[in-house]
Structure 1
Amino acid sequence: MANLVEAISPQQFEELLQKAGKSLVVVHFLAPWAPQCTQMNDVMAELAKENAQVMFVKLEAEAVPEVSEKYEISSVPTFLFFKNNQKVDRLDGAHAPELTKKVQRLSSTAVPMGMGMAAKEDLNERLKKLVNAAPCMLFMKGSPQEPRCGFSRQIVELFKQHSIQYSSFDILSDEEVRQGLKTFSNWPTYPQVYVNGELVGGLDIVKELAESGELEHTCPKAVTLENRLKSLISKKNVMLFMKGNKEMAKCGFSRQILEMLNSTGVEYDTFDILQDEEVRQGLKTFSNWPTYPQLYVKGELIGGHDIVKELKESGDLEAVLKGEN
């Protein structure tokens, strides 16, 4: 990449500054052993793609001590910003959003007006909807089932280990979103995690949250199957778990139990166990009732087809459905 280079001597460094003239030069003082520097190198590479008018320079701090001492570099990563061969700003630490902001501000890139501005506003509205599409949104390369980069694979695994409930968006499937979200979030790399519409960060931030025990408090926990089943059976006062639904039963027992329920005039809701294998298998264990249909009233199991038939014949079905018995 022409605007992303490495300086290995004081002479080369000075030549790069002089050659850049009025253009912005961003210098990354790094150490190859520091993982934060590796992360910020990736950020720089993305910024270089987006800012062709800016020169990005990597400089190993310990390998060029003369330059490091001159500019008082005491830790890595550190970023210095130059214009006209003069230092104009500084950033200490691995802060991708702040680095992006400084590059945008100091490079003075003009925003197109007219149609371009309208298009940008439309994209921003779309991005707002996407980041708020679920309480926890992961923008990644690929899908949770098939991640298409190592960082995305690692963050999916972390979410799985910590039982995080999330939705995802494949940024490889939409170039407009892929490029637009970098500016929208001031975070130039992927994956990106949002909680309640607010950017949390990328893989390194999620790792830190996981190690500190804060990830479960930052991101919503996935609902366990038991809690999900409890919620489903209590969704309405009368819930029927069957094969099919009210409009189309898909087995004889389900059809017959629908007819019996309809004859009472009591309101009820149904859940099609053929559409959800997890519920289909889990409810058998949860209720200790191995067959379908299953009828629940106020969260309590009444039974299956034979029990409902007995209640119907005894004249007790309507009272049971109303919770009177």
Structure 2
Amino acid sequence: MAATSNLSSSNVELVKDEERFNKIVSDAGGHLVVIHFAASWAEQCQQMGEVINELSKDPKFAHVTFITVDAESLAEVSYKYEIVAAPTFIFLKSGKQVDRLDGANAAELTSKVTKHSAISVGDLAKPSAKQDLNERLKALINSAPVILFMKGTPETPRCGFSRQITQILNEQGVKYSTFDILSDDDVRQGLKAFSNWPTFPQLYIKGELIGGLDIVKEMVASGELKDVVPKTEDLNTRLKALINQSPVVLFMKGTPSAPRCGFSKTTIGILDEIGVPYTTFDILSDEEVRQGLKTYSNWPTYPQLYVKGELIGGVDIIKELKENGELESTLRG
């Protein structure tokens, strides 16, 4: 069974027995569990394993449990979920299947994880005896780059202070999420002690408490608020410029002369064989670009190949285009 080690990754557990599998599903409660049914001999499973490993590192999926199951070793589990090919992904909530994905499709996998993880904060608000309150609060605070704990919602605020702060954030063009503290008294009372701030609304940026309405007003007046709010638009402008720096751009780990991962090395070999000029960007040299490009293009892994500003895909797509004789024409636009 040594070959099964190829299925494991740094953040995603390789489950080898049914008892452990059942415990993971049970402990997850109402949170999403993503199960990767894989086979050690399938190259696509290794590629998709890297995808779920990257997804597992994303802060917005902090409450998603990602696991890999050797489809052949756990035959009864595979039979239960009607697994007929690898890779296959099963999505569970409260032990019940809510979706599935057959085959290797990184973009669709990311989309389904985003859809079912429900980090719209709603699921995180549901009481769970197995989840410590402080862990819930920390997860809520970090569930979005900018999050406002308020009374009511932006559309129907339930107090004057909440109404004022949402108006200010909207006027400043800040993208933010909200949590209605009137919907959960545990969160309402617990957050006061957790952050040592007795009133609402409370604004958090990148997991750090900024303050209430008076603090936000002061920061707007001094221009400080714009400095601390994540500069999404600025980053997107930069990413767009990088993507369009030449007709063919490869975002990879390392450089053509010293690739830092097998997929990047394989991609470089294919591009060099085709002979179409291209430029590269080492995503290991810039964490902001590395993380931002995943969201910008809705593609969670590297390498990523762009032609005339359009995403082509990763190494599996490039291989497929080459096998079909379409790669050179695609690279030349």
What is the aligned partner in structure 2 of residue 31 from structure 1?
A: 39
Question: Which residue type is aligned with residue 292 of structure 2?
Answer: G
Does 2:66 align with 1:62? no
Q: CA deviation at 1:144?
A: 2.0
1:80 aligns with one of 62, 65, 90: 90
Q: CA deviation at 1:3?
A: 5.8
How do 1:266-285 and structure 2 match up within 5 A? none
What is the aligned partner in structure 1 of residue 18 from structure 2?
A: 10
Distance in 1, matches of 2:273 and 2:12, equals 37
Relative to structure 1, the CA distance from residue 87 to residue 2 in structure 2 (aligned partners, 3 Å threshold; closer, same or farther) is farther
Distance in 1, matches of 2:88 and 2:110, equals 14
Question: Which residue type is aligned with residue 4 of structure 1?
Answer: V
Distance in 2, matches of 1:166 and 1:102, equals 32
Q: 1:137–1:193: 8 Å Cα contact kept in structure 2?
A: yes
Distance in 1, matches of 2:233 and 2:26, equals 38
Distance in 2, matches of 1:52 and 1:63, equals 28
2:325 aligns with one of 213, 235, 240: 213
Relative to structure 1, the CA distance from residue 4 to residue 148 in structure 2 (aligned partners, 3 Å threshold; closer, same or farther) is closer
1:47 aligns with one of 41, 45, 55: 55
What is the aligned partner in structure 2 of residue 170 from structure 1?
A: 282
Structure with larger Rg: 1
TM-score after normalising by structure 2: 0.62
Does 2:139 align with 1:131? no
Q: CA deviation at 1:141?
A: 1.6
How do 1:143-158 and structure 2 match up within 5 A? 143-158=255-270
Distance in 2, matches of 1:151 and 1:165, equals 19
Q: 2:249–2:306: 8 Å Cα contact kept in structure 1?
A: yes
- Consecutive unaligned residues in structure 1, runs of 5 or more: 222-325
TM-score after normalising by structure 1: 0.64
Distance in 1, matches of 2:118 and 2:11, equals 17
Does 2:55 align with 1:22? no
What is the aligned partner in structure 1 of residue 119 from structure 2?
A: 109
The Cα RMSD (Å) is 1.9
Q: 1:3–1:52: 8 Å Cα contact kept in structure 2?
A: no
Does 2:107 align with 1:97? yes
Residue 199 of structure 1 aligns to a residue in which SS? strand
Residues 177-217 of structure 1 show CA distances to partners (whole Å, capped at 9, x for unaligned) of: 01111121222111110112111111121122112211101
Q: 2:10–2:53: 8 Å Cα contact kept in structure 1?
A: no
Q: 1:165–1:220: 8 Å Cα contact kept in structure 2?
A: no
Q: 1:137–1:168: 8 Å Cα contact kept in structure 2?
A: yes
Distance in 1, matches of 2:260 and 2:17, equals 37
Moved more, 109-118 or 69-78: 109-118
- Consecutive unaligned residues in structure 2, runs of 5 or more: 1-8, 121-143, 147-173, 175-225
Q: 2:13–2:68: 8 Å Cα contact kept in structure 1?
A: yes
Distance in 1, matches of 2:46 and 2:282, equals 24
What is the aligned partner in structure 1 of residue 298 from structure 2?
A: 186
Distance in 2, matches of 1:52 and 1:3, equals 12
